[in-house]
Chains A and B, each alone.
Chain A
Amino acid sequence: GAGVSQSPSNKVTEKGKDVELRCDPISGHTALYWYRQRLGQGLEFLIYFQGNSAPDKSGLPSDRFSAERTGESVSTLTIQRTQQEDSAVYLCASSYASGNTEAFFGQGTRLTVV
Chain B
Amino acid sequence: GIQVEQSPPDLILQEGANSTLRCNFSDSVNNLQWFHQNPWGQLINLFYIPSGTKQNGRLSATTVATERYSLLYISSSQTTDSGVYFCAGINDYKLSFGAGTTVTVRA
Nearest neighbor of A56 in chain B, beta-carbon distance:
B94
Does the CB pair B97–A42 fall under 8 Å? yes
Q: Does A63 contact B (CB under 8 A)?
A: no
Does the CB pair B1–A45 fall under 8 Å? yes
Nearest neighbor of A101 in chain B, beta-carbon distance:
B31
Does the CB pair A102–B45 fall under 8 Å? yes
Q: Does A82 contact B (CB under 8 A)?
A: no
| CA–CA, A35 and B50, complex, Å | 22
Does the CB pair B93–A56 fall under 8 Å? yes
Main secondary structure of the interface of B (DSSP, over half): strand
Known: A107-B42, A110-B41. A102 touches B48 (CB 8 A): yes
How many residues does chain B have at the interface if contact means C-beta atoms less than 8 Å apart? 24
Q: Does A93 contact B (CB under 8 A)?
A: yes
Q: Does B86 contact A (CB under 8 A)?
A: yes
Contacts of B43 in A (CB 8 A): 91, 93, 105
Q: When each residue 47-89 of chain A gets 1 if its CB lies under 8 Å from chain B and 0 otherwise, what string results? A: 0101000011000000000000000000000000000000001
Closest Cβ of chain A to B34, distance in Å, is: 11
Does the CB pair B86–A99 fall under 8 Å? no
Known: A99-B31, A101-B31, A103-B33. A42 touches B100 (CB 8 A): yes
Does the CB pair A45–B33 fall under 8 Å? no
A interface residue numbers (CB < 8 A to B): 31, 33, 35, 37, 42-43, 45, 48, 50, 55-56, 89, 91, 93, 98-105, 107-108, 110
* Known pairs A99-B30, A103-B88, A105-B43 / 17 extra A-B pairs, C-beta < 8 Å: A31-B93, A35-B97, A37-B41, A42-B100, A45-B1, A93-B95, A98-B90, A98-B92, A98-B93, A99-B90, A99-B92, A102-B31, A103-B31, A103-B95, A105-B42, A105-B45, A108-B41
9 contacts between A and B (CB under 8 A): A42-B86, A42-B97, A45-B1, A48-B93, A98-B90, A98-B92, A99-B90, A101-B31, A105-B43
